[in-house]
Structure 1
Amino acid sequence: MATLKEKRTCGQRCQDFGHFVWNSDDGTFMGRTPEKWVYISSYYVAFYVVMTGLFALSIYVLMYTVDPYYPVYQDRLKSPGVMVWPDMYNDEVLEITYNMSDKHSWMKMSSCLQHFLEPYNDTKQSHCNYYNCTSGKYFFQPKFDAPKHTKWSCPFYQSTLGNCSGIEDSTFGYTTAQPCVIIKMNRIINFLPNNGTGMAPYVNCTVLEGQENVRGHVYYPENGTMDLSYFPYYGNLAQPTYVNPLVAVKFDLINQRHAKIQCRVMANNIAYQNIYEPYEGKVDFHLTALS
């Protein structure tokens, strides 16, 4: 019959551990001689140096072969999205509702538009985008001819938006029943509207509900055109001063002063019927003026 193993005291256990850490009889430290510790340490140092070198080499090759100005793979929409300002977005519908007699209400709308148009200030644009672009033609730039290895960007002046520029009327019509909204098409690198046919895209707004409450609307620039000289867009790194072309629409609300409106960017290669992307190629919003 096997004898029971004698229970060791705490002092004996500490003594055994100390003997394991340094064994003076064999000259070993934690079970290995100093010579073996040198061998194993050298192996792991060499192993991690090689692994670090391979990782650094792979990153270098990746960064060397990737074009910093154009993504190799894109999961963005092939057709650009469209947005409207003032941007009163929520989870379900887009509602631009204001009270003409409530200063806080209409100031909220006008302040939003003023802030949005700050980069389009005529003076700022004349300083940062001073290239003389040719209107009505695509602005192809195969080389980086602009300063600091960039490409030129065409200016878009705030004054181009006429009565909706906020220059003469800082309220953008929100103290009356003739408010302005601004339509912007999102950027897609190397995208050519109308697929390079030479026809400029334009904004077309239609009243989906409440036709009797809208007497009419006016576009700025004329005909709601987005000039071809703003296309193609080459990316933020290549065109750091680029600004999107805009179209402002001034509505004349009457009767109940409420309508559901759809503004669509018209071009033969801009889709607008994707039920999974409600803002692709168009934007729907409710416009209401309270008194």
Structure 2
Amino acid sequence: MSQISKNQIVSIVTPSYNQGEFIDRTISSILSQEGSFYLDLIVMDGGSKDDSVARIRYYADLLQNAEKRGIYQDLIFRKLTGDTAFLTNCLGISYRWFSEKDNGQTHAINKGWKLANGSIIAWLNSDDIYLPSAINKAFTALIENDSLALYGVGLHIDKEDRFLEFYPVESFSNERLIDYCIICQPTVFLKSEVLNKVGYLNESLGYCMDYEYWLRISQTNSFIFLPEVLACTRIHENTKTSQNLNVHREIVQMQKSVVGKTSDHWLFHYSQYLMKDRFPKMKHSFLLKLVVRFYYYYLKYFL
């Protein structure tokens, strides 16, 4: 069994809480990735009450007696071969999981990153999926470039894995990133040194911790944009991204703190969601449009 280098390892953290309906698809999409890297998967479950833990444990049991292929510090990387549920298509897999109460998704990701051993890190939420070869494409591009961060093209899918739309990504620009979140979270891969240079995710944020992190990274570093589809974000009734008013309120406050201003785009959409919430009977009316416009200008000049 060979000693392997940190530079050969990609660490993926998957935060999970009561996502038994989807987590099999998430974990399978990670473990089936192919390429010339060792995969360090860390599943951080927040003490789920559904069948998530049983599903998470299944993969640990599957890998327990798999062939040993490499060791890094105290981590053993294994390879599934022969007649198994699926074959290992990368150089080897280390699979760790924890189920304990945490302080939310952001806290779980940070805890996982502190355990990560890879030179490349990422997180994939427990209802999202990677597309085939996503990790290898990102790994190859990052190790050949000085940038600390990379993102690609992402898709929105529904609970049955049906395509809904493309996430509106663009080539990287600092100003455009302030105007819009042009980066699709599950397509992001980072060099682990970003943790020392930029820090960890902001645990005070419940919705836009990813966007806030991209803005912090972009203050001193550029992102590579890889124009290939890497991952899918699942949209369903329980996703945080479906809670528009709360999301936009947090973004408006966050941008003011991080970049010293809030873009017109986020102010206007926050005004829309807030006024629709306050005046539900005026929905779709011309009067509501006037109220939204008035409130937008109030925020723009007096916030």
| Higher RCO (CA < 8 A, seq sep 6+) | 1
TM-score normalised to structure 1 length = 0.26
